[in-house]
Chain A
């Protein structure tokens, strides 16, 4: 019940295309859903996060879509650029300062020219 399932494991997208990464969760107590971007040898960087009171959140080229009934959320990267090539992790946690994030397994994105 604590798992967050992420797919695909890897993704190749042409420059200018849309990258879509999906995550699904089981624990209905989760109410914070962040996405992290990680470049090789670096720590994860918070990209965008959503709470279940909205179905979509957009920040620049990055959009989170959230489907509470299906317990799924996804990251869309519009106009993908080679600089977006990185590993992306979805995560989820319940509310609370000491609540632990449960991470997905990661998606390695490669944006080609």
Chain B
């Protein structure tokens, strides 16, 4: 299967600070990147969808000014949680989609964010 990396794997930060999470697809080019959030023992919640070089599309209820997504290239996307608060503590997972026949969606290993 495809290799997807996320960095950092876990991060603890103080309330009010910003945290950047990097996602790289190491052996394929992702035309589309999805970012998910997962709370303990729950399913994945889609936060936003982005295509390389264009602005992300955010799901209803997700603040675009708080969760900044940059899809700079076909192999790199970043999620920045700005002015983080304890309620932003969650497991964040990127998911690049490999275009093809059929399309296949992979997931990164996730980043555990804890905001104190």
Q: Do A and B come from one complex?
A: yes
In B42-78, the 8 Å CB interface with A consists of: 42-44, 46, 49, 51
A96 to B32, CA, bound (A): 10
Task: Decide if the interface of chain B is mainly helix, strand, loop or mixed.
Answer: strand
Residues of chain A with a CB closer than 8 A to B31's CB: 97
CB-nearest residue of chain A relative to B106?
A46
Residues of chain A with a CB closer than 8 A to B49's CB: 98, 100
CB-nearest residue of chain B relative to A100?
B46
Residues of chain B with a CB closer than 8 A to A95's CB: 102-103
In B90-114, the 8 Å CB interface with A consists of: 91, 93, 97, 99, 102-110, 112
- Binary flags per residue of A38-72, CB closer than 8 Å to B gives 1, else 0: 00011111100101000000000000000000000
Whether A45 touches B1, Cβ cut-off 8 Å, given contacts A98-B49, A100-B34, A100-B46, is yes
Task: Decide if the interface of chain A is mainly helix, strand, loop or mixed.
Answer: loop
Whether A97 touches B112, Cβ cut-off 8 Å, given contacts A46-B1, A103-B43, is no
Given contacts A43-B107, A46-B107, A98-B49, 6 further A-B contacts (CB under 8 A): A43-B4, A43-B108, A97-B31, A97-B32, A97-B103, A105-B42
Interface residues of A (CB under 8 A from B): 32, 34, 36, 41-46, 49, 51, 89, 93, 95-101, 103-106
